[in-house]
Amino acid sequence: MSGHGTALPMTAHKSGPLRGTASVPGDKSISHRALIFGAMAVGETRITGLLEGQDVLDTARAMQAFGAVVQQQGPGAWTVQGVGVGGFSEPADVIDVGNSGTGARLIMGTMATTPITVTFTGDASLRKRPMGRVTDPLSLFGTQAYGRKGGRLPMTVVGAAHPVPVRYALPVASAQVKSAVLLAGLNAPGQTVVIEREPTRDHSERMLLGFGAELTVEKTAEGNVITLTGQPELRPQSVAVPRDPSSAAFPVCAALIVEGSDIFVPGVSQNLTRNGLYLTLVEMGAEIEFQNPRTEGGEPVADLRVRFSGDMKGIEVPPDRAPSMIDEYPILSVVAACATGRTVMRGVKELRVKESDRIDAMARGLEACGVRVEEDEDTLIVHGLGAGNVPGGATCAVHLDHRIAMSFLVLGMAAKRPVTVDDASPIATSFPIFEGLMTGLGATLKRDL
């Protein structure tokens, strides 16, 4: 929901060792999509393992506003009575998607080819983020959008009454934009084609196939050519949401940098469009064992055993890996600060338009904690000090960004002096059990009253 309550400052103290099992909540991307596709199917979709974070709850409320019936049956267990492709009714009020770019962009795509008018808003962070990247391709279907300067929320979107299918080559590597176009293509006649030069998370494609849509993905010299046949009848599904690899990244990285740690993290996605951080950590010398590979909820997963890794080295992260770890650069830069030598992250300008400008937020906070960084528009370089050598002793600004808050709290668990974040409340958007889970492993986190 938009508006922001009282700030919740929190301090992480030198901790550990971290021990035990870190069972992280359901995947945020898949949780949003399960609710949205469930709302577009005819009949009852059953979801287990849904992330009950604020972002996803805001999407659930939005689906209700469009006429779907969304009900919680138990912890993580939800049902959605869908209204069918093109069956959305016009909401009686503004759709408030809170902090969630995924919610905003996917829901815009979902209603874009139905003749209804919807006004979207969000919190102060989301109202700064660009929506033109979605409304530009949606306009090709015949959708109109009227937002603030720079394509910012609040924005009113008028769905196309007579949508035409589109062919669209993504100008940015963005799964949100890809998904918005595919969702809009569902209610357009004929074939909608999306071309992505660099592969991004493929949960929408997997789920569209699961719900019975006709979709093909062809690997060509131009990249992935995704072709969707419009106006299918989507069949309701049982969706088991796997755990979120982007949330797992926090206990995993904490264990790598907190001396003496040895933790078990079950069910971490090995989906090639999501596992870039884990490849990078292994290249840096992280001690991670990938055990019991299997499929869960349609996703390849493994259990991770993670041990403190005192001699990690900085590396050059291949820029073409960015889409598969785009949400993990903040926590990677914390690990980089505790490794020896430079970690170079290039091709990361998308970080500037996330929940905050993540290059700036990490650079300022790391500097305040005594770590040398270099940055330009598209690059972040962290000069690592080696395990146990980060001074800490600073308060870092979070800018309403859950991943910035969690990253600096993890840094504080390994730094010499405590690290405070000015507001830990945004963590509830994606990882509501973060504080309890981390303290359960042995971290010292204190709310500053």
Residues in contact with ligand S3P by the rule CB under 6 A: 29, 102, 174-176, 179, 201, 326-327, 350
- Smallest distance, Å, CB 393 to ligand S3P? 30
Q: Which is nearer to ligand S3P, 244 or 445 (CB)?
A: 244
Whether 327 is catalytic is yes
Q: Which is nearer to ligand S3P, 201 or 243 (CB)?
A: 201
- Smallest distance, Å, CB 403 to ligand S3P? 9
Q: Which is nearer to ligand S3P, 136 or 303 (CB)?
A: 136
Residue nearest to ligand S3P (CB): 29
Measured between alpha carbons, how far is 294 from 296 in angstroms, rounded to an integer? 7
Q: Which is nearer to ligand S3P, 361 or 394 (CB)?
A: 361
Q: Which is nearer to ligand S3P, 29 or 309 (CB)?
A: 29
Q: Which is nearer to ligand S3P, 185 or 384 (CB)?
A: 185
Q: Which is nearer to ligand S3P, 302 or 326 (CB)?
A: 326
- In this structure, the dihedral spanned by the alpha carbons of residues 309, 311, 312 and 314, taken in order and rounded to 10 degrees, is 160
Phi/psi at 257 (5° precision): -110, -10
- Smallest distance, Å, CB 92 to ligand S3P? 27
- Smallest distance, Å, CB 175 to ligand S3P? 4
- Smallest distance, Å, CB 30 to ligand S3P? 8
Kindly name the residue from 27, 202, 327, 401 that is annotated as catalytic: 327
- Smallest distance, Å, CB 365 to ligand S3P? 19
- Smallest distance, Å, CB 270 to ligand S3P? 18
Q: Which residue pairs from 420-423 have beta carbons closer than 8 angstroms and sit at least 24 positions apart in sequence?
A: 420/9, 420/10, 420/11, 420/12, 420/394, 420/395, 420/396, 420/448, 421/9, 421/10, 421/11, 421/395, 421/396, 422/7, 422/9, 422/395, 422/396, 422/397, 422/398, 423/7, 423/8, 423/9, 423/398
Active site residues: 327
